[in-house]
Amino acid sequence: MSRAWTAEAFYTQFEEPPALAEYTQHVREFVARHDAENRNVVLITSGGTTVPLEKNVVRFLDNFSAGTRGAASAEYFLEAGYAVIFMSRQHSQFPFTRWYSHTTNPLFDLLKEPAEGEDTVSVSQDHVQGLLPILRAYHQATRRGRLLTVPFVTVTEYLFLLRNVSQAMAPLGHRGMHYLAAAVSDFFVPADKLSEHKIQSSDQSLTLRLEPVPKVLGTLVDSWAPDAYVVSFKLETDGDLLIPKAESSLRKYGHQLVIGNLLQRRKYEIVLVEPHDHTWIRLPTPPAVPPHEIERDIVAAIAERHQAWIASV
Amino acid sequence: MSRAWTAEAFYTQFEEPPALAEYTQHVREFVARHDAENRNVVLITSGGTTVPLEKNVVRFLDNFSAGTRGAASAEYFLEAGYAVIFMSRQHSQFPFTRWYSHTTNPLFDLLKEPAEGEDTVSVSQDHVQGLLPILRAYHQATRRGRLLTVPFVTVTEYLFLLRNVSQAMAPLGHRGMHYLAAAVSDFFVPADKLSEHKIQSSDQSLTLRLEPVPKVLGTLVDSWAPDAYVVSFKLETDGDLLIPKAESSLRKYGHQLVIGNLLQRRKYEIVLVEPHDHTWIRLPTPPAVPPHEIERDIVAAIAERHQAWIASV
């Protein structure tokens, strides 16, 4: 038998994450500061959420998402003058520092040890030109207080934070934007079904029963952030389902825009689906040098729509 | 009905990972070079493995593991004179660079922009003392060719790599060590049961049937690396199971040592379980300043046993 969990019932079965109150307070202060300066504020959610299979969690379900879409978008929103609440999966891609990850381009490889008798560690000269604009943009965002980080791991943490952060953004009215790029689990194990200890391995098969996570997008649009500009994402692997599912989501939740993307082509092609229109964004082939990220075009298109929408009220 | 997969049957159902031949060749060359210099070589496996639920993978099962144990141990094995094959989950913790992750201690925060008219990016002076020993050890390991990296993501990739790397290490005889710290999935979805596309969300519950991953430790000990010193790990959340399960693993697979640890206390307390003995290692409380990592003690204890074992043959 399947129970369809309502958002309310979902929240009551789990305890509030310990850091929830603290993060909520940070967001309130961040919002008040930028509200006072009439700045647009975007909440970007990024990365995948986990679904623990045990209370003392060893195993979990996860969603494929490095968080590149969200981290790249954050950089372009900052460039466009937004203040950014970056609510992301712990250890997923992070704005600016993502260019120097320890696996693809370790900063340690670019740092020179001091010469004999000196004590300065510096970036080798041939990398300064590439690093400097990124470093400057990072320092500028942090120095000016334009970037607030809120981390999550589990889908439960994500859903508590999404509710509180959305409510804390309500004072922004139409200047608030929700850019929901996180890959949120569709299924979870209810609190009362969680195994206390690590599920023991054996030579037997294991059957897991998962229940659907309630869709909170409707509650967000109707109650938490009724005046905000809300952008959701739809990731599919079957091209035939992409636009029908995006349109059905818009009809169901009544928000402003769905960004549709296919797993295989997500870095080169997306579609902006609006109630009476859809617009493809495709990167030119062959790719531009220096690399042109599709998030630059996405953010430009969305910021323009957001501005028109603010002006229209 | 449950099928118990043998190691052989497991391998035949999946295609070889595309990069397998290339990594195998890198390991062969690495082993040959250090073998010629009579150096001990340790294979460290680190991080968790994933179990895709779809062929075009959006969702997967994962194991809790940041890879800290493996990454820290790699540093201490290098310090002890070992050459290290670091076979780790992509984006998990990495030796040396782990001290400056973008979430806890971002290097970007330590880098100073150039003064007016200059073009040097350097580490701010108050951080040089902390960074320099780590940077020197990293450069030394890479410059001397003592550290080889082999990445994996899925449990299938892991098992193919483990087989080939172990076989490639066979020429080392007793000087080879296997330090199997990766958190390997116990269950998987057989290739012929994988859904082609993303499992659609719905308001229905989802039932997953997983089958046990074959234990390849026996095959490793008996066939792939019969002369190597083999260390496996046992992670539990229930303290009563820790030593019995470690002892049962030693009896079953016939290897040299199991490192037992409880999820909750793994950073402060572990137990070395050998056929006729077990030895606890506990960090002193209150913790030492500067921080003393338990991996320093683990590696010292294991390297000593490995040396005695090499001498005894």
Nearest residue, CB atoms, B108 vs list A66, A135, A183: A135
How many C-beta neighbours within 10 Å does residue B67 have? 25
Q: Which of B206, B233, B234 to mutate to test the interface with A (most CBs of A within 10 A)?
A: B206
CA distance A311 to chain B (A): 36
Phi/psi of residue B201, nearest 5 degrees:
-75, 160
Nearest CA to A214 out of A9, A1, A19, A2 is that of A9
Structure tokens belonging to residue B46: 């680190």
Quote the pLDDT of residue A150: 97
Distance (Å, whole) CA B17 – CA B194: 17
**Where would I find the H helices in chain A?**
7-13, 20-36, 68-79, 107-110, 125-143, 155-168, 217-219, 242-253, 294-311
A217 touches chain B (CB under 8 A): no
B136 touches chain A (CB under 8 A): yes
Q: What are the angstrom distances between the C-alpha of B33 and each of A129, A165, B148, B249?
A: 37, 56, 12, 33
Chain B residues with CB under 8 Å of A66 CB are 91
Chain B residues with CB under 8 Å of A193 CB are none
Chain A residues with CB under 8 Å of B126 CB are none
3-state secondary structure of B71: helix
Question: Which residues partner with A278 through β-bridges?
Answer: A273
Structure tokens belonging to residue A278: 């859809």
Quote the pLDDT of residue A113: 92
What integer is the mean pLDDT of A298-306?
Answer: 98
Structure tokens belonging to residue A17: 């994450």
Phi/psi of residue A177, nearest 5 degrees:
-130, 145
Q: Which of A1, A10, A46, A62 to mutate to test the interface with B (most CBs of B within 10 A)?
A: A62
Q: Does B201 sit within 8 Å of A212, measured CB to CB? A: yes
Structure tokens belonging to residue B185: 């999935």
Distance (Å, whole) CA B243 – CA B260: 7
Is residue B280 classed exposed, middle or buried when 0-12, 13-18 and 19+ CB atoms within 10 A define those classes? exposed
CA distance A257 to chain B (A): 20
Lowest mean pLDDT among A51-55, A76-80, A304-308: A51-55
A75 within 8 A of A95, measured Cβ to Cβ:
yes
Which single residue is written with the structure tokens 């989501």?
A: A249
Residue A3 reports pLDDT greater than 70? no
Q: Which residues of B153-183 are buried (b: 16+ CB within 10 A; e: fewer)?
A: bbbbbbbbbbbbbbbbbeebeebbbbbbbbb
Q: Please give the residue that has the higher pLDDT: either B217 or A197.
A: B217
What integer is the mean pLDDT of A174-189?
Answer: 94
pLDDT tens-digit profile of A242-257?
999 999 999 999 999 9
A312 touches chain B (CB under 8 A): no
Residue A83 reports pLDDT greater than 80? yes
The length of chain A in residues reads 313
What integer is the mean pLDDT of A154-180?
Answer: 97
Q: Which of A10, A57, A61, A110 to mutate to test the interface with B (most CBs of B within 10 A)?
A: A61
Q: Where does the pLDDT of residue A209 fall: very low under 50, low under 70, confident under 90, or very high at 90 and above?
A: confident
Q: Does B203 sit within 8 Å of A2, measured CB to CB? A: yes
Nearest residue, CB atoms, B209 vs list A100, A197, A207: A207
Nearest residue, CB atoms, A64 vs list B57, B100, B103: B57
Residue A2 reports pLDDT greater than 60? no
Amino acid (one-letter) located at A108: F
CA distance A90 to chain B (A): 8
Q: Please give the residue that has the higher pLDDT: either A304 or A1.
A: A304
Quote the pLDDT of residue B242: 94
DSSP label at residue A195: B
Interface of A with B in 233-252 (CB under 8 A): 235-238
Block means of pLDDT (10 residues each) for chain B, 313 residues, are 73 91 98 98 96 82 90 98 97 92 82 88 92 95 97 95 98 97 90 72 79 92 96 92 95 97 90 95 78 94 97 87
What integer is the mean pLDDT of A141-151?
Answer: 97
What is the chain A residue with the closest CA to B2? A205
Which single residue is written with the structure tokens 């922004």?
A: A172
The answer to ipTM > 0.95 is: no
Nearest residue, CB atoms, B61 vs list A57, A61, A109: A61
Which single residue is written with the structure tokens 């550290």?
A: B147
pLDDT tens-digit profile of A58-67?
788 998 888 9
Distance (Å, whole) CA B245 – CA B240: 9
B50 within 8 A of B184, measured Cβ to Cβ:
no
Residue A49 reports pLDDT greater than 90? yes
What is the pairing mode between strands B187-188 and B206-212? antiparallel
Domain extent listing, chain A: 7-199+207-311
**Level-2 CATH architecture, domain B7-199+207-311:** 3-Layer(aba) Sandwich (3.40)
Quote the pLDDT of residue B164: 97
> Cα–Cα–Cα angle for B232, B235, B239, nearest 5°?
125
Structure tokens belonging to residue B47: 């991080």
User: Would residue A96 be called left, alpha or beta, if left means φ above 0 and alpha means ψ between -120 and 50 degrees?
Assistant: left
Q: What are the angstrom distances between the C-alpha of B136 and each of A8, A110, A124, A131, B145?
A: 54, 13, 15, 22, 14
CA distance A5 to chain B (A): 9
Q: Where does the pLDDT of residue A197 fall: very low under 50, low under 70, confident under 90, or very high at 90 and above?
A: low
Chain A residues with CB under 8 Å of B199 CB are 186
What is the chain A residue with the closest CA to B135? A108
CA dihedral A195, A196, A197, A198 (to 10 degrees): 30
A5 touches chain B (CB under 8 A): no
Q: Does A108 sit within 8 Å of B128, measured CB to CB? A: no
Nearest residue, CB atoms, A205 vs list B57, B100, B211: B211
In percent, how much of chain A has pLDDT > 70? 95
DSSP label at residue B223: I
What integer is the mean pLDDT of A126-151?
Answer: 95
Q: Does B120 sit within 8 Å of A123, measured CB to CB? A: yes
CA distance B51 to chain A (A): 9
A203 touches chain B (CB under 8 A): yes
Quote the pLDDT of residue A33: 98
Amino acid (one-letter) located at A190: P
Q: Does A66 sit within 8 Å of B62, measured CB to CB? A: no
3-state secondary structure of B192: helix
Which single residue is written with the structure tokens 């193919």?
A: B160
Chain A residues with CB under 8 Å of B59 CB are 61-64, 185
Distance (Å, whole) CA A136 – CA B43: 40
Interface of A with B in 87-126 (CB under 8 A): 90-91, 94, 96-98, 100-103, 106-109, 111, 113-114, 119-123, 125
CA distance A94 to chain B (A): 7
Q: How many CB pairs under 8 A join A and B?
A: 206
Nearest residue, CB atoms, A128 vs list B121, B128, B235: B121
Write the CB contacts of B222 (distance below 8 Å, at least 6 apart in sequence). B254
Chain B residues with CB under 8 Å of A137 CB are none
Nearest CA to B100 out of B76, B127, B82 is that of B127
Q: Does A202 sit within 8 Å of B211, measured CB to CB? A: no
Write the CB contacts of A170 (distance below 8 Å, at least 6 apart in sequence). A176, A224, A225, A226, A227, A228
Q: What is the mean pLDDT of chain A?
A: 91
Q: What are the angstrom distances between the C-alpha of B141 and each of A138, B42, B98, B148, B247?
A: 30, 14, 15, 9, 35
Chain B residues with CB under 8 Å of A62 CB are 50, 59-62
